[in-house]
Amino acid sequence: MVENVKDILFTQKDAAPFAFDADVSRVFEDMIQRSVPGYGLTLQMISVIAGLYAQENSKLYDLGCSLGASSLALAHGIKVDDCEIIGVDNSAAMLEKCRSNTQQSPVTIVLQQDDIQNTVIEDASVVVLNFTLQFIAKEARLLLLKRIYKGMRKGGVLVLSEKVCFVGAFEQQQHIALHESFKKAQGYSELEVSRKRQSLENVLIPEPISAHHARLKTAGFDEVQTWFQCFNFTSMLAYKR
């Protein structure tokens, strides 16, 4: 594994729109662990999910694979033969690190540098969008989910993890306050938290859980369940039966 460098990015730079560039790729592992409550649990459960739903001789997709954490979680969970994992990310800097991180994978991981909106999804038993759909324009999300559904085998699942927002003003305020307290407890300063918040504005676009469920159903998925929530972070399972 590439060494885990501490994220002090927002002590140094101001709040320009967030980009997955070389600076971010260097600190990303630390950044996501200290910013997303339950991130480690999503990885652990992606392994469990792969163990239950990966089908023999099928493909597993990790869309927005970053440094390869979810791809590796899939690889370590698969219990059947002849699977291939396809990891896709449009950031060259992230993929470069991903390539070296995933070299020792027990299952072949093919990496593609592309916009996930162009990825051909076929013969998939498990598809993972672990905190990636939130970076896709809202109006493009349904088409992507429809293409994922179409490319999945019966019995397959989509794991969709997202930062979400809430319709009620009080609930929304409290979840934001709780998340920011979590970040401070992880060692980020008030200034780092506020710069990151500004930097992600209009880049990471959260939606309510109900909007995700409704869209997944419209895309064709037969069943949708929220299996995890911690403050304003959630993960859902969408089934093709």
What residues line the site for ligand GEK (CB under 6 A)?
Answer: 20, 32, 64-66, 69-70, 88-91, 94, 115-117, 130-132, 135-136
| Residue 135 or 228 with smaller CB distance to ligand GEK | 135
Shortest distance in whole angstroms from residue 179 CB to ligand GEK:
13
The whole-angstrom separation of Cα 152 and Cα 158 is 9
Q: Cα–Cα distance between 69 and 217 in angstroms, integer?
A: 28
Q: How far is the CB of 44 from ligand GEK (least distance, A)?
A: 12
Distance of closest approach, residue 18 Cβ to ligand GEK, in angstroms: 8
Which CB atom, from 180 or from 217, has the smaller least distance to ligand GEK?
180
The residues facing 126 across adjacent strands are 60, 157
CB atoms under 10 Å from CB of 126, counted, come to 28
Residues in the chain: 241
CA 70 to chain centre: 8
What's the min distance (Å) between Cβ of 91 and ligand GEK?
4
Q: With respect to ligand GEK, which residue has the nearer C-beta, 30 or 217?
A: 30
Give the whole-angstrom CA distance, residue 79 versus residue 87: 19
> Which lies closer to ligand GEK via its Cβ, residue 125 or residue 134?
134
> Two tokens at 100?
């070296």
The H or E element containing residue 223 is: strand 223-230
Buried b (16+ CB within 10 A) or exposed e, 131-168: bbbbebeeeebeebbebbbebbeeebbbbbbbbbbbee
* Beta carbon nearer to ligand GEK, 160 or 216: 160
Using the minimum distance from each CB to ligand GEK, give the nearer residue, 7 or 89: 89
Which residue of the chain is nearest ligand GEK when measured via CB?
A: 64
Residue 238 CB, nearest distance to ligand GEK (Å)? 16
Residues 123, 240: contact at Cβ < 8 Å? no
Is 19 or 222 the residue whose CB approaches ligand GEK more closely? 19
Q: How far is the CB of 83 from ligand GEK (least distance, A)?
A: 18
CB 107 within 8 A of CB 75: yes
Query: From the CB of 69, what's the least distance to ligand GEK, in Å?
Result: 4
